[in-house]
Structure 1
């Protein structure tokens, strides 16, 4: 009996359009060196214009091709049973006016959310009372408290999201990146269950 071939499917990959998808693109293979190299270079699917932006490669289609090539092989599947392939089409850059409009809209929305929060918790009154406690004088606008507080609020948001434009302060993922990762993971899981998979009719070329 020959040595077993172990296949571990990748959870998801990204690939350009109009490209051949080989086994090594969607899975990791281990086993006898000669067999492994041949299996890795098997073409599992050809991306066609009618393909959507997401293709689901099932481990069954890989097993089917491996058995046809090496009928005596013992195959073990490890990890997930599907790989979600995201086909990257040619991206169109958005118009500057659209980007500017969205940026202004988000800026105004964020500013309104912060102001409404401060109004709900009576932040201005708290700062006035804090000024009175420290100086013994009543002032309507204690700027020496309000200005540093506003600057600190902005710096705190930058540190919280760990980003200054494209610069990161450390390698830790920020909360937004974690939420995007969880969303992408849930999306891949949903697509793997509900979308059409690449059928075993795809032939090895």
Structure 2
């Protein structure tokens, strides 16, 4: 299972990036590796000018294409997801998320912007052909607090919701055959014994 974590914050350290890190840790704990794509590291000029041929853009779009699962995290600005994320999503092909499971994450100053996930981000993800969009997780500034050392710490409540989301991702995306082969070795029919 290929998991791509997309950081849609224009700043290097942010609460939405902390949510992504928390998801990555939970995936790793369950034996699933993930990669992170920081949109802020892509060429700003190529993003704004929609330069599809620019190496950073074509590589980023290719990484999305290879992923089975995409986790998108964004801060909420002006009751919508970040402009940096918007510009990147606009560069994806119309079927850029086709067949993929997507987990949207967002952070904002207050609970008042919680609906930005459903009314702003979810329609764009659906228009890009996502197979399954999990219920989004929204965290306020108080739920992703800054510690004395300057790091971000996810609250227990948000941590539980992230646990559930990661469990759902793994359950929904891992093919049933893969789950069975991990538990039982295949048995050839000639080895089957039955008594009557």
Relative to the length of structure 1, the TM-score reads: 0.23
**Max Rg structure:** 1
Relative to the length of structure 2, the TM-score reads: 0.24
Q: Which has the higher contact order (CA 8 A, sep 6+)?
A: 1
